[in-house]
Amino acid sequence: MKSLNLTTQRQAVYDIVRNSHDHPTAADVMNRLVEKGYNFAYGTVYNSLRYLTEKELIRELKLGESASRYDAKLDDHQHIICEVCGRVDEVMSEIPKEWSGAVAKETGYDVHHAHVVFGGVCSECQTKRTK
Amino acid sequence: MKSLNLTTQRQAVYDIVRNSHDHPTAADVMNRLVEKGYNFAYGTVYNSLRYLTEKELIRELKLGESASRYDAKLDDHQHIICEVCGRVDEVMSEIPKEWSGAVAKETGYDVHHAHVVFGGVCSECQTKRTK
DNA sequence: TTTGAATTTAGAATAAGTATAAATCTTATT
DNA sequence: AATAAGATTTATACTTATTCTAAATTCAAA
């Protein structure tokens, strides 16, 4: 059921995602693979990312940008994007349960999950701005 | 500053978005224009949607699907997608202020807004399933 | 050791959206 | 009314992110 087949390419892709802390896109992963001396086909990188996502070793993040990002952090968490520099940080603070309850009541949906993308200005950009 | 120049095509696009309640994509809008007898260039539809978005007559929704959707409802609200049938409904229940506060504290960001996409099963699909 | 399944590769194909340059429409000015 | 300036539309080419395809390669099992 959950048998893992980690080929060389999948392992290499996984290592990159696992050791990156900036939520890389497929193109980022591709570049870092090349830096490490690998030369996989583009399709293989996408396949690996999909495979790893299906096996729940990584998560695909759709943050409203044009390209998906990937994240090896699996515990439930949200993200925040800096409107100035574009960096993406993690938000561990959990969505209040009363809120999901209110949403279920309002919509009649059976609510399974919520993807939240906060927007704002990161502390670095805040200090740069006030210069 | 906020002068409006609603050409025939922009007006037609706006009318479609305003009178649709299913959050249409650009392609949906295109189809509905054709149904109404219009034959605008594809680029014009995209330009109009962008124009109307900039003028804040409509909103662009990026819900993690491949295509953006558009919405003429301007008051602040979120969305919920049915995982079974794909329909998108509105969520008016507001994000709790204490939560944004907690996120600001946690991340050091100046938090401006949050886009929330809930996922679940709509009431129709719930009843269908239990059949 | 052949046979079949899974994976990788290279490259074509697709989908959504943007850019461009020419044509057309508007508007203000003479 | 004539014209110039500016905005908009059109048709089409292009870009970007991603998926698909078919052949080649690798892996696994009998």
Q: Read off the pLDDT of residues A77-109 as tens digits, 9 standing for 90 and up.
A: 999 999 999 999 999 999 999 999 999 999 999
Interface of B with A (CB under 8 A): 62, 64, 80, 82-83, 89, 91-93, 95-96, 98-100, 102-104, 106-123, 126
DSSP code for A96: P
CA-CA distance, B88 to B105, in Å (whole number)? 32
Residue of chain B whose Cα is closest to the Cα of A69: B64
Q: What is the pLDDT of residue B33?
A: 98
CA–C1' B44–D13 (A): 16
Q: What is the pLDDT of residue B1?
A: 44
| Greater pLDDT, A2 or A30 | A30
Write down the mean pLDDT value for chain A.
95
pLDDT in tens, B22-50: 999 999 999 999 999 999 999 999 999 99
Who's near A6: CB < 8 A, 6+ residues apart? Answer: A14
DSSP code for A85: T
Place of tokens 């990161």: A122
Question: If DSSP codes are grouped into helix, strand and coil, which group holds residue A41?
Answer: coil
Q: Is the CB of A25 under 7 A from strand C?
A: no
Residue B45 has φ and ψ, to the nearest 5°, of: -65, -45
Structural domains in chain B, sorted by start: 8-71 (1.10.10.10), 78-130 (3.30.1490.190)
Positions in chain B whose pLDDT score sits under 70: 1-2, 130-131
Residue of chain A whose Cα is closest to the Cα of B114: A118
Among A97, A109, A122, the strongest candidate for a mutation testing the B interface, having the largest count of B CBs within 10 A, is: A109
Residue B70 has φ and ψ, to the nearest 5°, of: -130, 150
- Hey, what are B51's tokens? 């124009």
